Amino acid sequence: MQIIRSIKKMQAAARQIAGKGQTIGLVPTMGFLHEGHLSLIRRAKKEADVVIVTIFVNPAQFAPTEDLAKYPRDEKGDIRKIEGAGGDIVFIPKAIDVYPEDFQTYVAVEKLTQTLEGASRPTHFRGVTTVVAKLFNITRPDVAVFGMKDYQQAVVLGQMTRDLGYPVKYIIAPTVREKDGLAMSSRNKYFTAAQRIEARCLYYALLTAKEMVESGVVAAGKIEREMRSAVKASSPSAQIDYIAFTDFATLRTIKRVAKGTICSLAVRVHGVRLIDNMKL
């Protein structure tokens, strides 16, 4: 496995791979990898000859009040995990190289970023789309794999990929969960053992929604009220940022749940902001 830190060297390596007639799969990450990330790498390996995994904690997607400095990092552990999952190249650029002095150009997807995470974190998606566009330009992938756990992000990046005409097969892979249902996230490390039990409240709320829909309830407002109760029952101090019912592709708000509706929520549990979603 090869480790590359220079943008120019990564560009040269991508040209060389393409010159050999091999396909490239890309899995962008911010590091501190868990089984969810590794599942994306394995999926990319099935789709492409060479898999490039990026590790870059992207400062452009963090607001000044957010946890950029505290974001967990484990480069050596990440590299070991990537190799075990079948990655071929690890690209680890420096922030000053990705965003050099006097950097002024950003990529923005308009409508899809105005709701859900975009409403709570107004500068977030501009940073995400900009860095992924740059990674696409640097690595020239034939396939890119993202996770359903970051549902809105996956939809936004898919829109960007189509709008800018990237010749990339775009894949959204399923969320990977712990045995107790908690969605795998790098932020889970912030919890004590007791707090982690409370963090299951998001999953319990989603299960409540799914069970209600399966029993015939379709009114989003009624389902939301029960979900809020489920969150508070598991974590009394939890702060609910939003609970939303949306169309998978357009993120349009749904008032009556239909096949394919996605239920999403964001909740702060002991100060840690978690997101999760489920297809109803």
Q: Look up the domain containing 231 and give its range.
A: 186-279
Q: In this predicted structure, what is the pLDDT of residue 230? A: 98
Same domain, 197 and 270: yes
Sign of the C-alpha dihedral computed for residues 60, 64, 68 and 69 taken in this order = positive
What are the tens digits of pLDDT across the range 47-74? 999 999 999 999 999 988 777 888 889 9
Q: In this predicted structure, what is the pLDDT of residue 251? A: 96
Q: In this predicted structure, what is the pLDDT of residue 172? A: 97
Same domain, 151 and 192: no
190 inside domain = yes
Structure tokens at 218: 């379709």
Q: In this predicted structure, what is the pLDDT of residue 135? A: 98
Same domain, 30 and 135: yes
Predicted model pTM: 0.94
What are the tens digits of pLDDT across the range 163-182? 999 999 999 999 999 999 99
70 inside domain = yes
What single DSSP character describes residue 256? B
Q: Looking up tokens 């002991």, which residue turns up? A: 270
Same domain, 213 and 249: yes
| Cα–Cα dist 108/183, whole Å | 28
Q: In this predicted structure, what is the pLDDT of residue 69? A: 84
Q: In this predicted structure, what is the pLDDT of residue 98? A: 98
| Cα–Cα dist 6/93, whole Å | 6
Q: Residue 247: what are its φ and ψ, rounded to 5°? A: -70, 140
pLDDT means per 10 residues, the chain with 280 residues, are: 98 98 98 96 98 97 83 95 98 98 96 94 95 98 97 97 98 96 93 96 98 97 98 97 96 94 97 96
Same domain, 263 and 209: yes
Q: In this predicted structure, what is the pLDDT of residue 195? A: 97
Same domain, 167 and 190: no
Which residues carry out catalysis?
37
Same domain, 122 and 43: yes
